[in-house]
Structure 1
Amino acid sequence: MKTVAQVIGAKQTQGIVMIAPEDSVFDALKLMAEKNVGALPVADASGRLVGIVSERDYARKIVLQGRSSFVTPVSAIMTSKVITVEPRQSIRECMEIMTEKHLRHLPVLDEGRTVGLLSIGDVVKETMAEQDNLIQQLEQYIRGE
């Protein structure tokens, strides 16, 4: 199975998109919509990961609590105890973490620097590709190719 580095390296992105903790939740939502992502790593002025904010956070901590996304800072709703992975870890390890912790996104840190964001969609896509490849190999083996 591939590593996190292989999967995030193959994604068609221009680099990791992050938001600052003092930015408004509305700005975070606009950025998520613009980039077609469901979560954003939150980084301080030095670029250090301090949290993650997701559409789920918005739904539970803004909409359901009657708060305003225009005036509420990202820091008020972000998850600050972020579970991260490293580029050398396998996609299988990530799947286990996501399943066990009920997560949809995992920031990828390389020596403390945020280098990517792995989504559950990335993990599912890679797992399906791996299974398709294995099926093809087994069919070729059975046919004697």
Structure 2
Amino acid sequence: MKTARQVLESKPTQAIYSIPPGATVYAALQLMAEKAIGALLVIERGDIVGILSERDYARKVILMQRTSRETFVRDIMTSAVIYVRGDQSTDECMALMTQHRLRHLPVMDGDTLVGMLSIGDLVKDIISEQKFIIDQLEHYISGTPHLKL
């Protein structure tokens, strides 16, 4: 089983995107669309003060009849950010995401932000591991040489 750090290292890009709390929700949506991501960390003076997701936008702007050009990130962000350490397993990450109904998890190394995992990153990794195990079992059953671990 892989760790959060290993999954991060396997991602094609390890960029971390963020926005300040005083930015408009419209600016945040533009950045998310440009980068094809579903969440941004909200950072102020180097500290993580929240996370903003597409879900926050849908529930706290659209459904409350606000406008994204006049609403600030600080007004709709989720302030209680749940994160994981780089050495935590993918199973632990998935359990946290399921328990707290999250789609994104920042990964921290002490006080240092090292990346962001999405539910898609974890599912992709789990599928890859399962495919490897299935291939190994098929080779074992058929008696053909198999890949070494």
Alignment partner, residue 28 of structure 1 = 28
Rounded to whole Å, the distance in 1 between the matches of 2:56 and 2:72 is 12
Percent identical: 55
Whether the aligned pair in 2 keeps the contact of 1:87 and 1:109 (CA below 8 Å) is: yes
Question: Which residue identity lines up with residue 105 of structure 1 in the other structure?
Answer: H
* 4+ aligned runs moved over 4 Å, structure 1: none
CA-CA distance at 1:114 after TM superposition? 1.6
Give, in angstroms, the shift of residue 10 of structure 1: 1.7
TM-score by length of 2: 0.93
Give the corresponding residue for 2:72: 73
Q: Is the 8 A contact 1:42 1:52 kept in 2?
A: yes
The runs of 5 or more residues in structure 1 that have no matched partner are none
CA contact (8 A) 1:48 1:112 kept: no
Number of residues of Structure 1 aligned to a counterpart in Structure 2:
144
Q: 1:133 deviation in Å?
A: 0.5
CA deviations on 1:13-40 (whole Å, 9 max, x unpaired) are 2521111111110010000000000001
User: Which amino acid in the other structure matches residue 86 of structure 2?
Assistant: P
1:8 partner amino acid: L
Where does the alignment leave 5 or more consecutive residues of structure 2 unmatched? none
Query: In the alignment, what sits opposite 1:13?
Result: 13
Q: CA deviation at 1:143?
A: 1.9
Q: Is contact 2:8–2:14 with CA below 8 Å preserved after alignment?
A: no
Higher Cα Rg, which structure: 2
The residue type equivalent to 2:54 in the other structure is E
